[in-house]
Amino acid sequence: MMYSFQELLLLCAAAILIDWIVGDPQRPIHPVILLGRLIRWLERLLIPEGHAFSSGTVKLRGVLLTLLTLAAATGAMWLTAWAASAVHVWLGYAVSAWFISTTIAVKGLKQAALLVYTPLIAGNLAEARRFVGYIVGRDTQHLNERDISRAAVETVAENIVDALVSPLLFALLGGAPLAMLYRAANTLDSMVGYRNDRYLHFGWCSARTDDALNWVPARLTGVLLAFTALLMPGMDARKAIQSVIVFAGRHPSPNSGIPEAAVAGALGIELGGTNSYFGVQSERARMGWPRRPLAPSDIIHTVRLLYGVSLILFLGVIGLWLAIH
């Protein structure tokens, strides 16, 4: 089952539309939930409770976890798309477009951000802390209004790469199977890619794989965010680019600093600062020039940037299809 580049362009356009309208489907079971269950099962199989292994052995088993997960996700997706195409070509198109859409999360990100924003502007910090805790890894129980806003802005900004640009780029390269391969790698990183006692060695391969797959998409996202800021009133495209150049390299991630710095520059705010993880204070590089204080409204501004990038990508794939059709 091989699609031409023209067909892949239309499949990606359809996937963006499906995500805009439907968002993350709850039924049938979302593929990411199935990936999570597979990863946890493989983790228990490879690192059984009560067994001690050397760091080298744990790292090798982590490599095996990554390879098995990526192979299972890609193979299952290829077989599903092939079977649908064998029944009818249009069923194949529909299945591929739907599965690509499940690797994108524009509407889901917006909904998650609004769940934080709504109680925040109502002054209900406890509720806002609860909802922001669903989308960030840092401690949230003592966050003030500004810190809650910053956490939500940083999460939406970072996920413009993970939940939009990267899966679409891989879908353009290889349809639903490659999009699902990317989503599997990203899910692995979110589950085992931590630098703690349990996952420092076991999650090493997963984290590095996610970094490698996001390297090009993250840099493309920086350009797309600057272009989007150029088209939006009150945003500064020039500062977005300058902020990426000056600040992105200070982020501990080789990729996440790019969208965060671009958003900070475009909005004229400062991101980064002190976070707490499991009670331990961690100072993250500060990004952007704070021309004004960060506020809850910046959550909405960042969501608009997210949708702006998705619209540019949608129009881009349609325009490219028309140009080569």
For 307-324, how does the pLDDT look when each residue is reduced to its tens digit (9 = 90+)?
999 999 999 999 999 999
Better-scored residue on pLDDT, 126 or 275: 126
Strand partners, 275: 282
155-176 pLDDT per residue, tens: 999 999 999 999 999 999 999 9
Rounded to the nearest 10°, the torsion over CA 15, 19, 22, 23 is: 140
Q: How far apart are CA 109 and CA 155, in angstroms?
A: 9
Is residue 27 scored above 70 in pLDDT?
A: no
Q: Return the pLDDT at 283.
A: 81
pLDDT at 325: 78
Block residue for tokens 């949708």:
307
pLDDT tens for 171-218 read 999 999 999 999 999 999 999 998 888 889 999 999 999 999 999 999
Q: How far is Cα 75 from Cα 232, in angstroms, rounded to an integer?
A: 41
Instruction: Tell me the pTM.
Output: 0.95
Amino acid found at 282: S
Entry field: residues in the chain: 325
Q: What is the pLDDT of residues 32-64, one digit of tens each?
A: 999 999 999 999 999 988 778 888 999 999 999
CA distance 218 to 199: 24
Confidence check: pLDDT of 24 > 90: no
Distance CA 1, CA 179 (A): 15
